[in-house]
């Protein structure tokens, strides 16, 4: 298609100062402009020296302009090992409106930010074994900026598809199109993953039939940790988890549990309202029904399930200190922004994109049919969850995959959990059915790789190698 056949390079020489007072020279900025699509281009800086300081490891950061006044932020890190043959992995955080810099800096990126705003290399970074790209979407999330029109999960898919059209047509990323492509995500990624991968597959079919021109995006594996898949099932799981979180016990008082039970089951309660949302379909007339259902279930199921506990880690109180938020201050430094090519002030979880989703009640809608269809297609898949997370707890995630309509449904229900061990230590309870795996990761909160970095890297490695989960 030649989206990016014209290449222009401009140099910006500027000096800035890091938090520790050392001077920093801005790297060369590059811009790849499409001659065929208006307002579509790739703008980036290469090898900024920020975060990934492993000698010889290439990185790029900047913007994919996916439309007029629509600048989508990305940060790419080459694999530390065999980048010329290593797979290519996309990471998306959830929200909606939460930045993928969360995954980069708090979970599995090349560095961790210390309290003094210096960085330390992460020995368990996923770019040890894969080329990694982190993208902030929809527009308005993280460092992304401009006009945001995305108000549902499905509406977000075409923009991410467009971003990869730009990337895979560029000289810098074209080589990755034929690599194994892993789609990895968490939390609202339980919506993003099934929707976006389904859209990519639909576009591939249109390209193959000659109905549209474009670059195929062939996803080889889908990984979703602590995902939000099916609200009808997962709102009930707040009650179940608060009653008895396996390994941790009863989280709330009998009085709170009784009130939650009433809120879910009584006429007009969460169950009835969620079912009404499902029955209302997907047209605009369903928006208020689903929005009201979501508001009710959050207030009367999710909130009381946590109360004075951190919603993402039941072992911490509501003012949780882990993972560290130091990286946010790090990214607010003008010197860092200049070095990486950031043009907007970083927002960890922006309100504006989330509000658009709230208005359509997207949070109350299910993506389970699409997840089941992907499992049925024998796509390599992992649904995994930290067992200390309340927010998208593993009981709800497991109940969701047990409810999926796919050829392995009965086998999964009859497959007992077994322990996955690393050097003899149990790190997860696992189930495998052909290309589908489920894992409950022990002693981990919502952001699994932050709490169990070694186990998370090993699980990632096994999925990347297209293996069933197993002990090592």
DSSP letter for 452, please: -
Active site residue 338: no
Q: What is the pTM of this model?
A: 0.93
Please report the pLDDT score of residue 32 as a whole number: 60
Between CA 458 and CA 464 the distance in angstroms is 10
Between CA 190 and CA 195 the distance in angstroms is 9
Between CA 335 and CA 343 the distance in angstroms is 12
Are residues 84 and 132 in contact, defined by beta-carbon separation less than 8 angstroms? no
Please report the pLDDT score of residue 18 as a whole number: 41
Between CA 196 and CA 161 the distance in angstroms is 8
Active site residue 108: no
With both helix axes pointing from N to C terminus, report the angle between 189-208 and 153-169 in degrees, rounded to the nearest 10.
60
> Which one of 389, 398, 400, 437 is the catalytic residue?
389
Please report the pLDDT score of residue 320 as a whole number: 87
DSSP sequence for 373-397: HHHHTT-EEEEEEETT-STT-HHHH
> Which one of 108, 191, 398, 446 is the catalytic residue?
446
**How many CB atoms neighbour CB 208 within 10 A?**
10
User: Strand 15-17 relative to strand 23-25: parallel, antiparallel, unpaired?
Assistant: antiparallel
What number does CATH give the domain 44-229+326-472?
Answer: 3.40.50.1820
> Which one of 48, 71, 170, 187 is the catalytic residue?
187
Are residues 236 and 302 in contact, defined by beta-carbon separation less than 8 angstroms? no
DSSP letter for 356, please: H
Please report the pLDDT score of residue 31 as a whole number: 64
Q: How many CA atoms lie within 13 A of 163 on its CB side?
A: 25
Please report the pLDDT score of residue 469 as a whole number: 98
pLDDT tens digit at each of 472 positions of the chain:
333 322 222 222 222 334 333 334 445 676 665 544 566 889 999 999 999 999 999 999 999 999 999 999 999 999 999 999 999 999 999 999 999 999 999 999 999 999 999 999 999 999 999 999 999 999 999 999 999 999 999 999 999 999 999 999 999 999 999 999 999 999 999 999 999 999 999 999 999 999 999 999 999 999 999 999 999 999 999 999 999 999 999 999 999 999 999 999 999 999 999 999 999 998 899 999 999 999 999 999 999 999 999 999 999 998 889 999 999 999 999 999 999 999 999 999 999 999 999 999 999 999 999 999 999 999 999 999 999 999 999 999 999 999 999 999 999 999 999 999 999 999 999 999 999 999 999 999 999 999 999 999 999 999 999 999 999 9
Are residues 212 and 265 in contact, defined by beta-carbon separation less than 8 angstroms? no
Please report the pLDDT score of residue 27 as a whole number: 57
CA 395 to chain centroid, in Å, comes to 20
- Ordered by start, the domain boundaries in the chain are 44-229+326-472
Between CA 251 and CA 28 the distance in angstroms is 53
Between CA 400 and CA 381 the distance in angstroms is 14
Between CA 190 and CA 392 the distance in angstroms is 10
Please report the pLDDT score of residue 3 as a whole number: 31
Please report the pLDDT score of residue 92 as a whole number: 98
Are residues 431 and 412 in contact, defined by beta-carbon separation less than 8 angstroms? yes
Active site residue 446: yes
Between CA 376 and CA 386 the distance in angstroms is 25
Between CA 363 and CA 354 the distance in angstroms is 10
Residue 364 DSSP SS3: helix
Dihedral angle over CA of 350, 138, 221, 133, nearest 10: -80
């Amino acid at each position: 298609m030649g989206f990016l056949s014209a290449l222009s390079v401009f140099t910006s020489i500027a000096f800035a100062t890091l938090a520790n007072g050392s001077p920093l020279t801005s790297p060369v900025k590059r811009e790849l402009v499409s001659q065929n699509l208006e307002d579509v281009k790739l703008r980036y800086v290469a090898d900024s020296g920020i975060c990934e300081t492993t000698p010889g490891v290439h990185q790029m950061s900047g913007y994919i302009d996916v439309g007029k006044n629509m600048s989508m932020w990305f940060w790419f890190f080459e694999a530390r090992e065999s980048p010329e043959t290593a797979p290519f992995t996309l990471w998306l955080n959830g929200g909606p409106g939460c930045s993928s810099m969360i995954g980069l800096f708090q979970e599995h990126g090349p560095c961790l930010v210390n309290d003094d705003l210096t960085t330390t290399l992460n020995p368990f970074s996923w770019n040890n074994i894969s080329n990694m790209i982190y993208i902030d979407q929809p527009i308005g999330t993280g460092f992304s900026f401009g006009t945001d029109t995305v108000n549902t999960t499905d509406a977000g898919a075409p923009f991410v598809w467009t971003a990869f059209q730009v990337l895979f047509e560029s000289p810098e990323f074209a080589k990755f199109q034929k690599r194994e492509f892993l789609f990895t995500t968490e939390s609202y990624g339980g919506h993003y993953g099934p929707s976006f991968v389904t859209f990519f597959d639909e576009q591939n079919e249109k390209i193959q039939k000659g109905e549209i021109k474009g670059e195929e995006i062939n996803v080889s594996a889908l990984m979703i940790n602590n995902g939000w898949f099916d609200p009808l099932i997962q709102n009930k799981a707040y009650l179940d988890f608060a009653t008895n979180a396996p390994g941790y016990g009863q989280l709330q008082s009998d009085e709170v549990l009784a009130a939650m039970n009433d809120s879910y089951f009584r006429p007009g309660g969460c169950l009835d309202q969620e079912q009404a949302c499902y029955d209302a379909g997907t047209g605009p007339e369903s928006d208020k029904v689903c929005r009201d259902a979501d508001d009710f279930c959050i207030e009367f199921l999710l909130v009381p399930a946590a109360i004075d506990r951190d919603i993402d880690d039941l072992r911490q109180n509501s003012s949780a200190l882990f993972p560290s938020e130091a990286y946010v201050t790090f990214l607010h430094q003008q010197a860092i922004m200049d070095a990486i090519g950031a043009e907007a002030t970083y927002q960890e979880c922006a309100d504006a994109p989330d509000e658009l989703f709230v208005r359509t009640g997207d949070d109350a809608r299910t993506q389970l049919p699409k997840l089941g269809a992907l499992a049925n297609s024998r796509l390599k898949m992992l649904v995994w969850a930290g067992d200390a997370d309340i927010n998208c707890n593993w009981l709800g995630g497991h109940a969701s995959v047990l409810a999926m309509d796919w050829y392995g449904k009965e086998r999964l229900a009859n497959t007992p959990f077994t322990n996955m061990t690393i050097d003899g230590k149990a790190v997860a309870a696992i189930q495998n059915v052909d290309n589908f795996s489920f894992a409950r990761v022990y002693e981990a909160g919502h952001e699994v790789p932050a709490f169990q970095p070694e186990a998370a890297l090993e699980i990632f490695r096994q999925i990347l190698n297209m293996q069933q989960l197993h002990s090592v």
